[in-house]
Structure 1
């Protein structure tokens, strides 16, 4: 198996080890906010987050639907703290309307993954599901080993070379 094939296989399974994703939003005034949210992902790499309408990042998503997400290797598992394996995507957030068929399917996926707490969230009117649609991404597996991901094909990694770095 070639190095690219090995990295590709790792990329395809990378998010399986996570139950939550780090999220970064920006307010209408341009103030950044970092947080996290439990997630589910579909086969097209769309990420769904189920979050309270009372938190800063939800207000930010209404004001500015652009969001960055980060999946990052646990520090305790990293061979080198300066080169933790990580996957990031730039995304656009779209609210999934409550009680639609799509909303019901996503809630079921959350319930299968996270259990009874989702029943509580279903009854809370302030909880929202956002679909995060990636426009581009980057998968880093170590020093000098980074791969771009294009919205044209979110399944395909494109190795970053020194000429790509500015």
Structure 2
């Protein structure tokens, strides 16, 4: 298979950024106390370094999971109605390290204000509830899939894409 041309790679990079920028939530995969995976979702915002922030209740299983296993995977995926082929939906996954952020710290206040601005007044209500925790999800590795034969490693810091050709996948 021929190497991908730079202009084509640039177009995929822009599409990857658009997928991330177009979502207000992430699908979240965590590990429970028994080490079994659980999936859920949470509204999220991103900072300038590409980290995701979620504000979640102790009543949600994923909160206990994140507190006991500080890593997770997030998925951003194209809506089914927008996909031309259900088997090849555009999607981006990140493996993330998780860190709890104190709500009343300077960073916590900044992120919660950003969440309120981007996600609406519900955040203001949730800030008054003591069982909510703010988490920073720092991507360590990413994979962006656009369709058949169009998969890329994503550098979480720079957003740079590296095409995963058939040769690279088989290694």
The bucket for the TM-score relative to the shorter chain is: over 0.9
- Counterparts of 1:72-91 in structure 2, within 5 Å, are 72-91=77-96
Task: Extract unaligned runs of 5+ from structure 2.
Answer: 1-5
8 Å Cα contact 2:26/2:41 also seen in 1:
yes
Alpha-carbon displacement from aligned partner over 1:2-59 (angstroms, at most 9, x marks no partner): 2111101111222122111100000131111100000000121100011101211010
**4+ residue runs of structure 1 moved beyond 3 angstroms?**
none
Give TM-score scaled by structure 2 length. Answer: 0.92
Match of 1:26 in 2: 31
Provide the C-alpha distance between the structure 1 equivalents of 2:108 and 2:25, rounded to a whole number of angstroms: 19
Structure 1 counterpart of 2:67: 62
Over the aligned positions, Cα root-mean-square deviation in angstroms equals 1.2
Q: Does 1:96 align with 2:101?
A: yes
Q: Out of 49-58 and 10-19, give the one that drifted further.
A: 10-19
Which protein is richer in strand relative to its size? 1
- Structure 2 residue matching 1:165: 3-state secondary structure: helix
Question: Following the alignment from structure 1 to structure 2, what is the Cα–Cα distance between the partners of residues 102 and 86?
Answer: 29
Equivalent residue in structure 1 for 2:160, among 151, 156, 160:
156
| Structure 1 residue 15 corresponds to structure 2 residue 20 | yes
Equivalent residue pairs, number: 165
Separation (CA, whole Å) in 2 of partners of 1:63 and 1:104:
24
